[in-house]
């Protein structure tokens, strides 16, 4: 299994994003949480910030849209330079059309599932997505406790992938005590916020998390 670690910029210093990204050279991507204070009760940043991050980041951007009306807005994030744009199933009116629009704009298309959202309706059209994000907390805020019961859903998605080039991402409460649990369930992309940017050496934290997910370090 290829392990991908994506630090969440939401846990970095908002006044020094470029410097924060420079401290994580071994990361596979920078995870950007876009929140609109409507779909979730929190407000972060939007398209202009992602455009700027794409200009200053040496790493790919994985944009997680926690917003209303992603059908309208998601393709613009692909056009801004994101490698992956993930939108929430619960907010999309036409998820397959939106995924196709993201791909047409040049990015990988991901769909995110809140803890209470079943995977089955979306797994039936799994070839339309490049990534499935299983939320392991309720979306909206960092620092929440990992929901171990979501590993059943991760395993369900892993079975459905069945050799396809579809990444399985987990987001929420990922750290040294939880990343191996998620990896064993079938996840291969891990979003970590405070576990990386809260460390004295963020890049060393990435190395440690990668080893734990790969099963090459003690848990």
Q: What's this model's pTM, rounded to 2 decimal places? A: 0.96
Predicted pLDDT at 144? 78
Q: Is the pLDDT of residue 217 over 70?
A: no
69 is catalytic: no
- 135 band by pLDDT with thresholds 50, 70 and 90: very high
- Phi and psi, residue 52, nearest 5°: -70, -40
Active-site annotation holder among 33, 62, 130, 188: 33
- Say how many C-beta atoms besides its own lie within 10 A of residue 4's C-beta: 18
33 is catalytic: yes
Percent of the chain with pLDDT over 70: 98
Q: Is the pLDDT of residue 14 over 90?
A: no
Q: Is the pLDDT of residue 219 over 80?
A: no
Q: Compute the average pLDDT of residues 123-146.
A: 91
Predicted pLDDT at 138? 93
Q: Compute the average pLDDT of residues 106-110.
A: 98
What is the tens place of the pLDDT at every residue in 35-72?
Answer: 999 999 999 999 999 999 999 999 999 999 999 999 99
Q: Compute the average pLDDT of residues 97-117.
A: 98
Predicted pLDDT at 112? 98
- For the domain spanning 4-214, the CATH number is 3.20.20.70
Predicted pLDDT at 174? 97
Burial class (CB in 10 A: 0-12, 13-18, 19+), 74: buried
- Phi and psi, residue 66, nearest 5°: -105, 70
CB 7 within 8 A of CB 31: yes
What is the tens place of the pLDDT at every residue in 141-181?
Answer: 766 799 999 999 999 999 999 989 999 999 999 999 999 99
Q: Please give the Cα distance from 22 to 32 (Å, whole number).
A: 15
Active-site annotation holder among 28, 36, 171, 188: 171
List the domain boundaries for the chain: 4-214
Coil/strand/helix, residue 90: coil
């Amino acid at each position: 299994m290829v392990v991908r670690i994506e630090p969440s910029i939401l846990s970095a210093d908002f006044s020094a994003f470029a410097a924060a990204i420079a401290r994580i050279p071994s990361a596979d991507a920078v995870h950007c949480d876009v929140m609109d204070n409507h779909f979730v009760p929190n407000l972060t940043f939007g398209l202009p910030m992602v455009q700027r991050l794409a200009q200053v980041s040496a790493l790919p951007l994985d944009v997680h849209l926690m917003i209303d009306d992603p059908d309208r807005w998601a393709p613009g994030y692909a056009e801004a330079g994101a490698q992956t744009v993930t939108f929430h199933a619960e907010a999309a009116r036409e998820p397959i059309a939106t995924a196709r629009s993201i791909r047409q704009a040049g990015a990988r298309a991901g769909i995110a599932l809140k803890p209470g959202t079943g995977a089955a309706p979306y797994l039936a059209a799994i070839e339309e997505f490049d990534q499935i994000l299983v939320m392991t907390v309720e979306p909206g805020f960092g620092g929440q406790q990992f929901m171990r019961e979501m590993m059943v859903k991760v395993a369900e998605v892993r079975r459905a992938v069945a050799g396809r080039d579809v990444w399985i991402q987990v987001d929420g409460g990922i750290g040294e005590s939880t990343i191996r649990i998620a990896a064993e369930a079938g996840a291969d992309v891990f979003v970590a916020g405070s576990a990386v940017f809260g460390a004295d050496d963020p890049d060393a934290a990435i190395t440690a998390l990668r080893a734990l997910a790969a099963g090459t370090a003690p848990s």
